[in-house]
């Protein structure tokens, strides 16, 4: 049996990343964790500029809130210091670039002298960050990377929680299964960016489509950063596409939707991953964001400790909601609790405090890390409606609304 698209992608990425890791370890010296002063310094590479800046804005806010809450409770107890220490967050702009993550991390580690690290956003960027952290023996706590990208590296000084693209890719098909017969898609299309994340998720969508009895009328790689998608839209229109699964950046997704409207092409069901959940997406499109479905990693309606309060805090400050800040906040929660369990900021000690352990009462629920350092969370599906994310999956109380043609809205 020939390997599938997703399996080939995983294998190739695993080999390439392994080579990068071996090279990094060969170069690296050891910087010893030093939370022996008056504070614990946590570093975070964040996309403050570039195409993922909208994601970065929410991530930075969530990390800042988590650190403020930790300090409000007195800080983190560190046995090596013999007392509770306050936390200081230091951020470096990775410019939404995989190539810039390494320099951002090295600045945080070598210049800012951080004790431990919180992750940036997106799989390839987080893999690059994790490799640098491994080189310098600084623990790097990750969310928003797919396990198939990270697990093959068998890294010691990072851990990950996120959803798996396999179950995540099944969400739209589970939604379609519950629709009335006249609303079920007949000619769905897959529009997935030409990137490691896009190819990996694309393979998961193809497997899910086969499982649920669908085939894609259009399934072509989507050029990143292009300014003219008219050829793609013409092909979608000619193929009578009535549903789209779209994996791409916020900037590219906004461009695609604007050009779809200009060319008079719409579909009843458009579900986006990576590019449709940010508040900036809604701000860019205004009412045209209505009916668009999004992915997400969290919901303020979750019944977990602190989830509603965090969601209320975000909405009070920004006058909008978020489907991600809880995951980023929980990332900081896990790292802080792990440092306290470990009794120090030593990366090996933090590893032992996380791998194979459970963390209860985070804002994403209880997180159970396996022996590889991975913990699974569910993907959510929401629909934009009048500037709000309405939760559909899992266990949402919102009924999906099919989108009418542009001139009927």
Domains defined along the chain, listed by start:
40-163+305-378 (3.40.50.2300), 166-295+381-393 (3.40.50.2300)
Position 252 scores a pLDDT of: 95
Calculate helix-pair angle for 53-72, 307-318, nearest 10 degrees.
Answer: 120
Rounded Cα gap, residues 292 and 218, in angstroms: 19
Rounded Cα gap, residues 136 and 132, in angstroms: 7
Q: Which residues of the chain have pLDDT under 70?
A: 1-36
Q: Distance of CA 100 to CAs 28, 104, 208, 353, 405, Å?
A: 18, 6, 34, 30, 41
- Kindly state the tokens that stand for 112: 């800012």
Q: Distance of CA 393 to CAs 172, 235, 250, 380, 399, Å?
A: 9, 30, 21, 5, 10
User: Residue 18 belongs to what H/E stretch?
Assistant: helix 5-27
Eight-class DSSP state of 4: P
Q: Distance of CA 234 to CAs 230, 238, 256, 296, 409, Å?
A: 6, 6, 12, 29, 22
Strands laid side by side in the 40-46 sheet: 87-93, 40-46, 116-118, 140-143, 158-162, 374-376
Position 165 scores a pLDDT of: 85
């Amino acid at each position: 049996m020939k390997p599938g698209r997703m399996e080939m992608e995983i294998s190739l990425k695993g080999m390439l990343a392994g080579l990068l890791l071996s090279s990094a370890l060969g170069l690296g010296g050891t910087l010893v964790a030093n939370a022996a002063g008056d504070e614990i310094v946590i570093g975070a590479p964040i996309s403050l500029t570039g195409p993922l800046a909208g994601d970065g804005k929410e991530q930075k806010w969530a990390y800042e809130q988590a650190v403020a809450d930790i300090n409000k409770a007195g800080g983190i107890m560190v046995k090596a210091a013999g007392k509770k220490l306050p936390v200081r967050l230091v951020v470096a702009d990775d410019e939404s670039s995989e190539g810039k993550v390494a320099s951002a991390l090295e600045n945080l580690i070598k210049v800012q002298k951080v004790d431990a690290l919180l992750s940036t956003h997106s799989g390839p960027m987080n893999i690059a960050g994790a490799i640098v952290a491994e080189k310098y023996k600084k623990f790097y706590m990750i969310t928003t990377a797919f396990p198939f990208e990270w697990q093959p590296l068998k890294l010691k000084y990072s851990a990950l929680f996120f959803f798996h693209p396999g179950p995540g890719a099944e969400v739209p098909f589970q939604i379609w299964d519950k629709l009335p017969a006249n609303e079920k898609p007949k000619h769905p299309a897959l529009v997935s960016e030409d990137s490691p994340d896009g190819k990996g998720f694309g393979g998961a969508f193809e497997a899910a489509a086969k499982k649920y009895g669908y085939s894609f009328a259009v399934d072509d790689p989507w050029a990143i950063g292009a300014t003219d998608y008219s050829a793609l839209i013409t092909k979608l229109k000619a193929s009578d596409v009535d549903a789209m699964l779209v994996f791409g950046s916020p900037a590219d997704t906004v461009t695609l939707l604007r050009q779809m409207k200009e060319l008079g092409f719409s579909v009843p069901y458009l579900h986006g991953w990576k590019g449709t959940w940010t508040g900036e997406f809604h701000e860019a499109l205004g009412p045209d964001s209505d009916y668009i479905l999004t992915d997400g990693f969290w919901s303020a309606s979750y019944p977990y400790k602190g989830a509603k309060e965090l969601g209320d805090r975000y909405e009070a400050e920004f006058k909008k909601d978020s489907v991600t800040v809880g995951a980023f906040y929980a990332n900081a929660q896990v790292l802080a609790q792990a440092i306290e369990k470990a009794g120090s900021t030593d990366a090996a000690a933090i590893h032992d405090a996380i791998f194979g352990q459970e963390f209860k009462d985070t804002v994403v629920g209880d997180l159970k890390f396996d022996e590889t350092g991975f913990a699974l969370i569910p993907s959510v599906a929401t629909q934009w409606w009048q500037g709000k994310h309405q939760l559909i999956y899992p266990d949402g109380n919102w009924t999906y609304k099919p989108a009418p043609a542009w001139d009927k809205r």
